[in-house]
Structure 1
Amino acid sequence: MDERELTEPWEGVLITPASISHTGVLVLAGSSGRIERDRARILAQEGMTAMSIRWFGGPGQSPGICEIPLETFVSAVDLLESTGVRRICLLGSSKGAEAALTAVHDPRVDGVVAVSPTSVVWGNVGPGRDGRQRPYRSSWTWKGQPLPFVPYDDGWTAAEAADGPVAVRGWYERSERTFADLVPAAEIPIEETGADVLLVAGGDDAMWPSLPFAERLAGRRRTAGRTARLISRAEAGHRPRLPGEGPASVSPHFRYGGDAVADAELGAAAWPHILDLLPG
């Protein structure tokens, strides 16, 4: 494999396999903001050209997930396309899954793997370029316009947050109820894309209700006459682990649900379907 560091227009890594690759995969982390180097390597070992980028928090970027231009991912697809691949796919986790599902505005995207997804666009997580976190703004923009979004009910944090790692799933559930009138406009229009869609979600997700979100996405695809595969395990949490990945690190701030065994089992169950969607 050949591993190339990227510095412009964003930080990242581009890994090409030893053999000819027909599939390019853009790998997107969630709210950690990290470059998913290890996951990209695992995909490259399977014969895919894999790229992961820092899509916020880097030089010249918004410090938080606030009004991130979806054109960021279009530019990444441009680079993948320039390597000569014939099939382009996105693989994102959590907020990265939200990005991947939303970025199917680009008709060149042939497939999307959304791990622990949401079915709606949410408000910002962290500050925007102006350094402000309030009032809430959309996580994403497209052609300079913020996408409709669901804000957060801040009453939950005062009433229910506690010392130590916190499960914030209830915050998202409460926010959807509080701002129910905004949910329809904020729904990610996954039914409109011709891309293949694979959804991976754990029933014990303590970060947000990714399995109900995934079921909604799959339902909307079915209603539109399209398909979406949904792979789930009731005991798994927010961070499924693919074969070759070790257990996720323990956070001092958040509870993610599941455990090392269940999260690995969900990743193992999803893996053959991922390889089927992302053929090298």
Structure 2
Amino acid sequence: MEITEREPSGPWEGMLAAPVRGSDVGVLVLAGSSGRVERERACILARQGFTALAIRWFGGPGQSPGICEVPLETFTAAVGLLRRGGARRIGVLGVSKGAEAALLTAVHDPRVDVAVALSPTSRVWCNIGAGRDGEHRPYRSSWTWQERPLPFAPLDESWAPAQPGSGPVAIRGWYEQSERAFGRSLPDTEIPVETARADLLLVAGGDDAMWPSLPFAEQLVRRRRGAGRTVRLIARDDAGHRPRFPGESPAPASTHFAYGGTAEADALLGEAAWPHILDLLGSDGPGRPATADAGLRSPDRR
């Protein structure tokens, strides 16, 4: 499908990709803590017939340099841009911290019809990087809403990597230790997905080395189903933190962090999730009961 690419109007760095014939479905595409603009992912979605807006949501001009007290209005304003461009159905697709943002945007903005959370968390965490004041500490919330910080879980500073200085670090244990230390005493940090009117699709790998996205996703599923709401969970036990969609380039290697999984497993997880993403974005309305409450794993579990 022929598409167009251009810079979006608005306060962000980013790109807007859309079919030449237009679309009444708009998707906001969010990266995680890399801070990049997900241009390739937006183009892949545009070739499927959707208008896709990929933005830089921190680290850009006028933005917090780190993921620290980022206004959720950053994302609701982008939803508004898609709506003004003619989108009648809105999806927000994010990975990792972008998935955290996608879920929170769906909770706070009833215009969101679909939230796709790749490698999600089930709660709000503290900042990653510096705030507008240039300081990393004390810990603050990653997000604000209407100028008020959301309740957040801090990281336990007593954690240390098992093999410091020996290559890329797996920090999953840091989040697991911090959740044990603080999570149960901070119920207000849980993302209230049960209140979102949007369809929910969670995609997670059991071998995620950045944080325990599959246990987090299972927490979200329990919360959602406990409220009688539908949810889809697509998982592979052997996949890591960075699922890849059909036609998407492999994730780049990192010298700093271990992400878990393998290129093959991450691609297979993205391939398994892809038809569900297309189905939800292209469906006529949220909460379709026939298939929307699904908990799926690849039959090739290792």
Task: Please report the TM-score for the alignment, with normalisation by the length of structure 1.
Answer: 0.97
Which residue number corresponds to residue 96 of structure 2? 94
1:18 aligns to 2:53 (yes or no): no
Report the Cα distance in structure 1 between the residues aligned to 2:242 and 2:32, rounded to whole angstroms: 10
| 1:28 is aligned to 2:13 | no
Residues 1:223 and 2:226 aligned together: yes
Report the equivalent of 1:255. 258
Sequence identity, in percent?
A: 68
Name the CA distance, whole Å, in 1 between partners of 2:231 and 2:250: 27
Question: In 1, distance between residues paired with 2:22 and 2:208?
Answer: 38
Give the SS at the match of 1:6: coil
Q: Take 1:265 and 1:28, find their aligned partners in 2: how far apart are those partners? A: 21
2:281 is the alignment partner of 1:278: yes
Q: Which runs of 5+ in 1 are unaligned?
A: none
Q: Which residue of 2 aligns with 1:2?
A: 4
Residue range with higher mean Cα deviation, 149-158 or 40-49:
149-158
Say if 1:43 and 1:50, in contact at 8 Å, map to a contact too.
Answer: yes
Residue in structure 1 matched with residue 85 of structure 2 by the alignment: 83
The answer to whether the 8 A contact 1:120-1:183 is kept is no
For 2:272, give the aligned amino acid: A
Aligned to 1:136: 139
Check whether the contact 2:161–2:171 (CA below 8 A) recurs between aligned residues. Answer: no
Q: Which runs of 4+ in 1 moved over 4 A?
A: none
Q: Does the Cα contact within 8 Å between 2:117 and 2:202 map onto a contact in 1? A: yes
Kept after mapping to 2: 8 A contact 1:92/1:99: yes
- The corresponding residue for 2:201 is 198
* Equivalent position to 1:68, from 67, 70, 93: 70
SS at match of 2:43: helix
User: What CA distance in whole angstroms lies between the structure 1 residues aligned with 2:61 and 2:196?
Assistant: 32
Q: CA-to-partner distance for each residue in 1:10-55, whole Å, 9 max, x for gaps? A: 1111111122312100000000000000000000000000000000
One-letter code aligned to 2:270: G
Cα displacement string for residues 117-157 of structure 1 (whole angstroms, at most 9, x for unaligned residues) = 00000000000000000000000000010000000011113
Letter of the 2:79 counterpart: V
- 1:26 touches 1:50 (CA, 8 Å); kept in 2? yes
Q: CA RMSD in A?
A: 1.3
Aligned length: 280
* Rounded Cα–Cα distance in structure 2 between residues aligned with 1:158 and 1:98: 24
Q: Secondary structure at the match of 2:7?
A: strand
Instruction: Letter of the 1:16 partner, please give it.
Output: A
Corresponding position of 1:269: 272
Q: Give TM-score scaled by structure 2 length.
A: 0.90
Query: d(CA) in 2 for partners of 1:22 and 1:265?
Result: 29
Partner of 1:210: 213
Please tell me whether the aligned partners of residues 150 and 182 of structure 1 are also in contact (alpha carbons under 8 angstroms). Answer: no
